[in-house]
Each structure stands twice: as C-alpha cells, then as structure tokens.
C-alpha cells in the first residue's frame, strides 16, 4: 500500500477520534489509577485505543497495533506495518484541565519510522511528518531547527529532577536551570516533543518513557533535525521503555555531557 494512502487514512481517524474525545466530556469519565496515584487511566483512553484498533483492522488486517492500554495484540517485533499508539498522552491534564493532551501515533514499516502524528485534541492542532518528505504543523511546513546556545534555550523538564533523586545528578540539573533562559513542564511528553520539533522548546528530558510516548514525535524529529536519544546518547528501542531526551542539535551533546547525567 502507498504511504500517502496510509497517511490520509491515519489523519482521518485521528480527527474522528479527537471529535469523540471532545464529546466525551459531556458524559461520565471513569478515572482509575494504574501503577500509582499519579498514573491515571480513564474509560476514554481505552475507548479511543479500541476505536483506533477497529478502524485500522478494517482498513488493513495485516497492520499490527501496539497501544499503551494493551487493547491490541501482543507486538513483539517491528516487522511489517506497526502502529504505535498513545490514545491520550497527558491523561492527568485530560482529567484535571480538559486540555493539553495529545493523540500520538507513529507508523513503522519493517522497523523504519515512516509516518508520525501528534494531535492536540482541544486545539485541533496537528503536527505530522512523512519520512524523507518533511514535517508540518497543520498545513505549514516545519523548518529545520536553527541553532541555539544554552543561554538562549528553554528546556522542558519535570521539577522532580531538580531535587535529589536516584536517577540523575540533580546538582547538575540545578546548574542547567540557572544557565538556560527558562524551563517548562507541560505534563504531556508528546506535547513537549511537538514543541521541540517546532522550535517552541529547545529540549525535553524524561527519566522514563514508553514507545507510545515518543513514536510519533521521533519520526517528526528526523525531518526537522531534532536529535532524540536515551540519556546515554543511544537510539531508542521502540519495544521497551527507556530514558529520553530530544533536543535541538546544537545543545544535545552539551546537555548530556554537562547537565543531564544519569547515575548508571
């Protein structure tokens, strides 16, 4: 099947899923916790993932789907066409603010990221990319990232990492916070990645992300020259969780060498 056809189909179901999520606020949200008090899931996360699975299987039953809520089949390899889906990224924002949450989708063909989408559901803003053809914010092309210095940078990072913790040298994070122009924390990994690829943030760091948090975003990143790795500077494995950084290429190395230094 032609990539262009999959792209058109993907956009159509993302917009339809967005309409359904916006309507869902008028009926009951059932909120549950998963691994802990800050790890939430709702009936809408699950229903949205199921909607994607049903639509994709009707479109082409050979496509495989790896979704956060585990409603699809078990996906153990990236052979064939694989959709990696986060039906709602930023569930806490969804529940608490009714905004600032994204649908995030990456489509891989035999392990290569081909199509990436991050959709801001309430603003109806789409960031997307086609491998080798470019990236767009709605209908405007996204430009290659211009270089920035640390002093001019705005970095997406959670306040946790400025306090003593077992993941990274927090005193180096404090140095970074003092050096850069500003820091932000939006509560949706996909939103922060969308901001990095469109130059609204210069980097985003997380200690633990899963494939569905970053699949769509890393495909868009390639098209604008943003660099995405784990905190050891290695490529991300799309079947397991890992640490994560995405940055403007002019500061990625410096961030990892001087400021975002994991213990192990």
Q: Which residues are annotated as a binding site?
A: 68, 86, 88-89, 213
Q: Determine the size of the site formed for ligand 2AM (CB under 6 A).
A: 15
Contacts of 175-180 spanning 24+ positions with Cβ under 8 A:
175/258, 175/259, 176/150, 176/255, 176/258, 176/259, 176/260, 179/150, 179/151, 179/259, 180/150, 180/151, 180/153, 180/154, 180/155
Would you say 75 or 210 has its CB closer to ligand 2AM? 210
Would you say 87 or 113 has its CB closer to Ca ion? 87
Structure token pair of residue 213: 């948090």
Q: Which of 109, 115, 157, 189 binds ligand 2AM (CB under 6 A)?
A: 189
Site string for ligand 2AM, 57-76 (x = CB under 6 A): -----------x--------
Q: Note whether 105 and 83 are within 8 A (CB).
A: yes
Q: Which of 42, 48, 91, 243 binds ligand 2AM (CB under 6 A)?
A: 91
Q: Note whether 79 and 66 are within 8 A (CB).
A: no
Q: Does 146 sit near ligand 2AM (CB under 6 A)?
A: no
Would you say 89 or 202 has its CB closer to ligand 2AM? 89
Phi, psi of 143 (to 5 degrees): -85, 160
CB atoms within 10 A of CB 130: 19
| Side-chain half-sphere exposure of 252, counting CA atoms within 13 A | 19
Site string for ligand 2AM, 15-54 (x = CB under 6 A): --------------------x--xx---------------
Which of ligand 2AM, Ca ion, none lies near 120, with the C-beta cut-off 5 to 8 A by kind? none
19 burial via Cβ count (<10 Å: 0-12, 13-18, 19+): exposed
Q: Which residues are annotated as a binding site for Mg(2+)?
A: 68, 86, 88-89, 213
Q: Which of 42, 153, 183, 188 binds ligand 2AM (CB under 6 A)?
A: 188
């Amino acid at each position: 099947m032609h990539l262009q056809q999959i792209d058109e189909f993907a956009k159509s179901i993302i917009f339809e899923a967005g309409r359904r999520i916006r309507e869902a606020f008028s009926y009951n949200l059932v909120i549950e916790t998963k691994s802990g008090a800050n790890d939430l899931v709702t009936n809408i996360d699950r229903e949205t993932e199921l909607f994607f699975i049903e639509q994709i299987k009707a479109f082409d039953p050979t496509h495989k789907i790896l979704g956060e809520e585990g409603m699809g089949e078990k996906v153990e390899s990236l052979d064939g066409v694989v959709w990696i889906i986060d039906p709602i990224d930023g569930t806490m924002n969804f529940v608490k603010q009714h905004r600032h949450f994204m649908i995030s989708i990456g489509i891989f063909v035999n392990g290569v990221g081909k199509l990436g989408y991050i959709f801001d559901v309430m603003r109806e803003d789409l960031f997307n990319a086609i491998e080798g053809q470019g990236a767009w914010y709605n209908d405007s092309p996204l430009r290659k990232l211009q270089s920035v210095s640390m002093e001019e940078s705005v970095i997406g990072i959670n306040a946790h990492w400025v306090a003593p913790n077992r993941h990274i040298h927090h005193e180096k994070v404090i140095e970074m916070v003092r050096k850069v122009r500003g820091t932000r924390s939006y509560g949706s990994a996909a939103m922060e990645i969308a901001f990095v690829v469109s130059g609204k943030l210069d980097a985003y760091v997380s200690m633990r992300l899963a494939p569905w948090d970053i699949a769509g975003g890393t495909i868009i990143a390639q098209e604008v020259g943003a660099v995405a790795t784990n905190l050891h500077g290695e490529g991300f494995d799309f079947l397991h969780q890992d640490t994560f950084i995405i940055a403007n290429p002019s500061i990625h190395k410096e961030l990892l060498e001087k400021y975002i230094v994991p213990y192990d």
